[in-house]
Amino acid sequence: MQRGQGFKGFLSYIRRNPAFGLGLFILVALLVFAGVGSLVVSEEDAQPLSATPNSEPTGEYPFGTDSTGRNLLAQMIHGTRVTLSIGMIAGSVGLAIGTVLGFMTGYFGGIFDTIVKFIVDVLMTIPQFLLLVMIASSVPEPDKLTIVQMGLILSLISWVRPTRAIRAQILSMRERAFVMMAKLSGMSGMEIIIKEMMPNLMPYLAISLATAVNGGVVSSLGLQTLGIGNLRRPSLGMTIYWLRYYNAFLQGYWWWILEPVIVVVLIFAAFLLLSIGMDEFANPRTRRTV
């Protein structure tokens, strides 16, 4: 992997890897939209009865309003923030657990490996979304669920795939000559995992993070669209729930429908492009640059 020089190197890399560049651009745009927007537009405006309901986008309400009188600009800004945050928590916690478990089981094997493998296999055969629905809907006071809590609930499921994938990577890496060399040089198992294997897995982990966060967003969308979880705090899924509840399709409130859909599509596009772009340096065989 070529170590480019600073910012100029980064820009030329983007030019050679347009997928990564575009994906990054969209993600950053979304983050700016949600982040800076949250500072500028207050969450209060996303509460019901803060504006004239069912208003088309106008100068006063650039994104229009919904049937409960929510200012959809505020709704989108804060909703994007919330959904992305939940996705990030779910994805990173899930990946962290998956990484630790994957490394341990892949390298050391033994009883621990057998147990974890069994759990993973069982969980993968059960429809995971169903499991999430069951867990999330059994929470006593859903409207009090914080972003962190929601993210953690989702991570109960999001750790499974990464564990299996990383374990597989470790199993194959374990046989490689440089790991044998490390053993011959007196390195302990843990040292080898952290110093030898981990750096090589970084590109793979980066892609896995993008996938995991995307997965977290999907799960949260799925749950909230069905009406599970905190329906008072603005989020993309919750917006979709309410627009269905109030029959936005029949009423012709096109702006209410389009906005969350466009944001969701942008989120997926961003992560997909990032994955494609990162695959370029994670997988040397597809590399077009030296």
Q: Of the two residues 126 and 180, which places its CB atom closer to other proteins in the complex?
A: 180
The closest of 114, 73, 69, 116 to 97, measured between CA atoms, is 116
Closest CA to 30 of 72, 81, 64, 86: 81
Report the residue from 59, 110, 140, 186 that binds other proteins according to the rule CB under 8 A: 186
Torsion of the alpha carbons at 226, 227, 228 and 233, rounded to the nearest 10:
130
**Is there binding between residue 6 and other proteins (CB under 8 A)?**
no
Does 127 sit near other proteins (CB under 8 A)?
Answer: no
Specify the DSSP element, H or E, that contains 211.
Answer: helix 198-225
Given candidates 14, 30, 116, 187, which one binds other proteins under the rule CB under 8 A? 187
Q: According to the binding rule CB under 8 A, does residue 25 interact with other proteins?
A: no
Residue 31 CB contacts under 8 Å (≥ 6 apart), including other chains? 84
Q: How far is the CB of 14 from other proteins (least distance, A)?
A: 16
Coil, strand or helix: which one is 65? strand
Amino acid letter for position 227 = G
In the list 65, 94, 162, 196, the residue contacting other proteins (rule: CB under 8 A) is 196
Among 39, 130, 184, 250, binds other proteins (CB under 8 A): 184
Size, binding site for other proteins by CB under 8 A: 16
Region 223-252 residues binding other proteins, contact defined as CB under 8 A: none
Choose one: 92-100, 153-161, 182-190, 217-225; the region binding other proteins (CB under 8 A).
182-190
Rounded Cα–Cα distance for residues 189 and 111 (Å) = 17
User: Cα separations (Å) of 56 from 31, 141, 185?
Assistant: 25, 34, 70
Phi (first) and psi of residue 141, to 5 degrees: -120, 85
Stretch that binds other proteins, among 64-72, 138-146, 180-188, 273-281 (CB under 8 A): 180-188
Q: Are 86 and 238 in contact (CB under 8 A)?
A: no
State yes or no: residue 200 binds other proteins (CB under 8 A): yes
Query: Considering the rule CB under 8 A, would residue 26 count as an interface residue with other proteins?
Result: no
Q: Between vectors from CA 13 to CA 12 and to CA 17, what angle results, nearest 5°?
A: 120
Question: Of 28, 181, 258, 262, which lies in the binding site for other proteins, with binding defined by CB under 8 A?
Answer: 181
- Does 144 bind other proteins (CB under 8 A)? Our answer is no
182 binds other proteins (CB under 8 A): yes
Binding to other proteins (CB under 8 A): which residues in 65-124? none
Tell which positions 150-179 bind other proteins, by CB under 8 A.
176-178
Whole-number Å distance between alpha carbons of 242 and 237: 9
Q: Which is nearer to other proteins, 25 or 178 (CB)?
A: 178
Residues that bind other proteins (CB under 8 A): 1, 176-178, 180-187, 196, 199-200, 290
